[in-house]
A = this chain, B = another copy of it.
């Protein structure tokens, strides 16, 4: 689905979900950032004691990948809410940052 889903439609989806539930007043940039730290902490919980190889296996195994997918979805949704509430276009921000990073980390010749 990622091949055909515009970023905007994911932003619209989570924003509508929040609006219907009356959550928008809580969604300041500060609160959303704190929520992001909380959700990333849950992903850290999955991987903290695993080796690099085990972390690949957890995410690849159909039986265990749902936990990773769920956390990734929560994290992505908060990133989309931050983008929506700040009016920062994610695709533009990424293009601008990668231009900076390409100078900071030039590709090998």
Contacts and interface: CB of A to CB of B under 8 A. Distances in A.
Copies of this subunit:
4
Nearest to A84: B2
A1 B79 CA distance: 16
A93 to B, nearest CB: 4
Q: Is the interface of A mostly helix, strand, loop or mixed?
A: helix
Given A3-B6, A3-B7, A20-B107, 12 more contacts: A4-B6, A26-B49, A29-B47, A29-B55, A29-B56, A31-B49, A31-B52, A33-B55, A37-B37, A37-B44, A73-B94, A76-B79
Interface of A: 1-8, 10-11, 13-14, 17, 20-22, 26, 28-31, 33-53, 55-56, 58-60, 65, 68-70, 72-77, 79, 82-83, 85-98, 100-102, 105, 107-108
